[in-house]
Amino acid sequence: METPISIEVRDLTIAYGDHVVQHDLNFTVNTGDIFVIMGGNGCGKSTLMRSLIGLQRPAEGSVLYSGRDFWNVDHDEHQRLKRRLGVMFQGGALWSSLTLAENLALPLNQYTGLSPQLIDEIVSLKLALVGLAGFGEFYPAELSGGMKKRASLARAMALDPDILLIDEPSAGLDPLNARRLDELILELRDSLGTTVVLITHELASIMGIGNNSVFLDTETRTMIDTGDPRRAVQSGDPKVRHFLTRGEA
């Protein structure tokens, strides 16, 4: 393992053409954090994540991974940094023509020189970690919603990423399964030391496992608070408190 990496976002503006989605974002994700990006529908959470994982170039500002400017390093370095990120997309994004085992093995075959036997073993370990032992030969279409979420978490972890970025993990899950997924993320963070960036508007997740956060506002199109969400609900900006108490404060 290389030295653990942190994320620094500096004066970031994200936009679609002339339409500014969010501007002047400044926050830091420390190693080992469970960092929550929160905000109402349409505030730009997913767009911000696309800038963090290399799918959408920001209009201005920079994203620094351990001090290296993600969008302005050379191609090889950009790819190397990307490989240290694991991404779990909102809809799972499992490749539908591959079995679960093949979904997990693809990045390992692509980027490591491991023996096929060891890759098989890693795949069955990762599936076991998310509670899907024995489902390797299934196609994504044959799984329930909750199983797809867990499988896509397993794929995001296939290359042992330093940073795991997760878009709406609990969307479409029942409260118990949502909580089990939160606990799973927490356990993986504790055992593997992975930094987690979580996009969610699920209060239970924000308060339950988040220890750092940024709040994106829909009206002013910028961030209005960053820090521990449990502090924010006590003493933060009124808008953040309003959000975190479901409009009761």
Partner 1 sequence: MPRDNNAQRWQLETHRTDGNGLEIAFAGRWCLDQALPFPDALTTELTDSIDRLTFKTDLSSWDSGFLAYLFRLLKLCAEREIQVEQEGLPEGVRQLLAMGNAVPEQKIAGRESEKPLLFRVGSAMLDFLQDAPASLDFLGEIILAFGRLFTGKTRLRWGDLWWEIEEVGPRALLIVSVISFLVGLILAYLGADQLRMVGAQIFIADLVAIGMVREVGALMTGIIIAGRTGSAFAAKLGTMQVNEEIDALKTLGISPIDFLVLPRILALLLMVPLLTLYASFIGMLAGLMISVTIFDIGLFEYYNQTVSALELEHFMVGLIKGSVYGAMVAYSGCMRGMQCGRNATAVGEAATSAVVTGILLITISASILTILFYQIGI
Q: Is the dihedral of CA 145, 147, 150, 156 positive or negative?
A: negative
Name the β-bridge partners of 215: 38, 225
Q: Which position among 17, 191, 235, 238 is part of the footprint of partner 1 (CB under 8 A)?
A: 191
Could you say whether residue 1 binds partner 1 (CB under 8 A)? Answer: yes
Rounded distance between C-alpha atoms, residue 135 and residue 139, angstroms: 9
Could you say whether residue 40 binds partner 1 (CB under 8 A)? Answer: no
Helix/strand/coil for 248: coil
Q: Which is nearer to partner 1, 87 or 122 (CB)?
A: 122
Q: Which position among 16, 72, 79, 137 is part of the footprint of partner 1 (CB under 8 A)?
A: 137
Site track 102-131 with partner 1 (rule: CB under 8 A), x = hit: ------x---xxxx-xx--xx-xxx-xx-x
Rounded distance between C-alpha atoms, residue 33 and residue 210, angstroms: 8
8 Å CB contact between 43 and 218: yes
140, two tokens: 């994504």
Q: Which is nearer to partner 1, 72 or 97 (CB)?
A: 97
207: left (phi over 0), alpha (psi -120 to 50) or beta: alpha
Q: Which is nearer to partner 1, 11 or 137 (CB)?
A: 137
Q: Which is nearer to partner 1, 39 or 146 (CB)?
A: 146
Q: Is the dihedral of CA 172, 176, 181, 186 positive or negative?
A: positive
Could you say whether residue 146 binds partner 1 (CB under 8 A)? Answer: no
Could you say whether residue 135 binds partner 1 (CB under 8 A)? Answer: yes
Which residues here bind partner 1, judged by CB under 8 A?
Answer: 1, 96-97, 108, 112-115, 117-118, 121-122, 124-126, 128-129, 131-135, 137-141, 157, 159-160, 187-188, 190-193
